[in-house]
Amino acid sequence: MNQIHPIDVILHKRDGAALSDEEIQGFVRAIVERTGERQLVTDAQIAAFLMAVFLKGLDARELATLTAAMRFSGDTFDASSLKTFTIDKHSTGGVGDKTSLLIAPILAAAGIATPTSEEVPGICVPMISGRSLGHTGGTLDKLETIPGFNTQLGLAQLAEVLRRCGAALIGQTPRIVPADRTLYALRDHTGTVESPFLITASIMSKKLAESLNALVLDVKVGSGAFMPSYEQSRFLAELMVQTGERAGTRTVALLTNMEQPLGRFSGNWVEVWECVDIMKQVRHPMSADLIELSNLLSGSMLHLAGRAKTPEEGAGLADEILTSGAAYRAWLGIVEAQGGDLSVFEDPASHHRPQASTVIKASRPGYLASMDCKQVGWAVQRLGAGRAKPGDPVSAHAGIESHAKLGQRVEEGQALFTLFSEDESLLEEPRKMLLDTLVISEKPVNAPPLLREVVSAAGHESIS
């Protein structure tokens, strides 16, 4: 294979040329093959490449090549020996977004419930999840509040849990997509995180490394989304769908609203507690949007996996699996297989032990009209649920409870949010942040719809 010269690749992209496959593959190879003594490409050159891509973009072929080069830069998970339909869900990140904790057991229960045959193979969900990022929560941080739960499984252990349970929830290992580690860390310091091309390559390389038959993406829109406008979220969804399909993975993206925290709680243990309640048929009214979104995403997955004729039928099936208790049984199996202590689910409320709390009340009667959901997410992080720098511990018990949803009528003095923390001194700043962002209007306002649009290889389907 010919060696590339990093400076040529940077100059070509800087001047707006399309890079050849050899240039992209050579550049990614140089990133992962460099060592202390052999600096095939320097951090400065990688940063310059990232900025050139940020400014000039990539065409569909370049993006597919970059994604594939990153995907194969380390170990990949091959589920072919399990002889199942391998499927996953990925969210671009939200506040109170805990759908993974419901979707993994729903799909596992669906896969186990139907006998495996040539036409309808079993389902397996190798969910490789992340930690909290910016204002958004992380599935791993939530799962690790379950005593003993091991998110750090190797690929052989992952296969074993999948064989037994149909789903597993684990963290990324250092050997999966190592190119993304270097690129992501440099993006964070060079103002190049928000490129839809770089986000697509980063997310899709990791998802495609799971060797998926199909992938459902939950691309957030609204004030709590990473992308600043609806159009940019839709463009990101299109790029990810196009890149997944080019790699041979059926990919569907749901554009969903993130204008307010999803469900009843936002935090770490409190989110596990909420999901356990739902799976045990304790349906709190504030959890309605969470249940709806989990069913919509599971429905799309069940449709792609051949278990339902339409995504709508799939959503109905998902709800049946939830209400029958099958999802809860699958959840207990997954947690047990990953070393978790099941006794905490007997009375999850009793394991919520914040040291301090405060309630935010409506200052006047009216309708809850809007909030900056990103600001709400930052408030949750600053209560202790997130980390100020990589490696910091997160609080299991910090978080917020929502008592009202957008569009709802509220009376003066009615509780809107309860804030929890393990440190009383951490309550004041988030309290101010929430008071500053909540808007109550005199006139009725319409609650925003949860599902806005579906993007697939077939095109777009607008819902609202």
From 29, 89, 135, 206, the catalytic residue = 206
The residues, ordered by sequence, that sit 6+ positions from 150 with a Cβ below 8 Å of its Cβ are 338, 339, 340
Q: Does 170 bind ligand URA (CB under 6 A)?
A: no
DSSP assigned state of 123:
E
Tokens of 419: 């804030």
Q: Does 317 bind ligand URA (CB under 6 A)?
A: no
From 71, 131, 135, 187, the catalytic residue = 187
Is 206 labeled as catalytic in the residue annotation?
yes
Q: Does 67 bind ligand URA (CB under 6 A)?
A: no
Q: Quote the least distance from Cβ 226 to ligand URA, whole Å.
A: 7
From 132, 202, 223, 456, the catalytic residue = 202
CA atoms of 459 and 464, how far apart (whole Å): 16
Compute the C-alpha angle 24/30/35, nearest 5°.
165
Is 90 labeled as catalytic in the residue annotation?
yes
Shorter beta-carbon distance to ligand URA: residue 54 or 367: 54
Is 78 labeled as catalytic in the residue annotation?
no
Q: Does 63 bind ligand URA (CB under 6 A)?
A: no
Shorter beta-carbon distance to ligand URA: residue 202 or 375: 202
Tokens of 235: 């463009």
- Alpha carbon separation from 392 to 172, 305, 371, 380 (Å, rounded): 18, 39, 28, 15
Can you tell me which of 182, 202, 381, 421 binds ligand URA, judged by CB under 6 A?
202
First-to-last C-alpha distance (Å) of the chain: 51
Q: Quote the least distance from Cβ 199 to ligand URA, whole Å.
A: 4
User: Dihedral through CA 42, CA 48, CA 69, CA 9, nearest 10?
Assistant: -90
Q: Does 199 bind ligand URA (CB under 6 A)?
A: yes
Among candidate residues 457, 446, 168, the one with its CA nearest the CA of residue 331: 168
Q: Does 212 bind ligand URA (CB under 6 A)?
A: no
Question: What type of residue sits at position 39?
Answer: Q
From the number of C-beta atoms within 10 Å of its C-beta (0-12, 13-18, 19+), residue 285 rates as exposed
Q: Quote the least distance from Cβ 371 to ligand URA, whole Å.
A: 23
Can you tell me which of 46, 64, 128, 203 binds ligand URA, judged by CB under 6 A?
203
Q: Does 140 bind ligand URA (CB under 6 A)?
A: no
Active site residues: 90, 180, 187, 202, 206
Residue numbers of the site for ligand URA (CB under 6 A)?
Answer: 199, 202-203
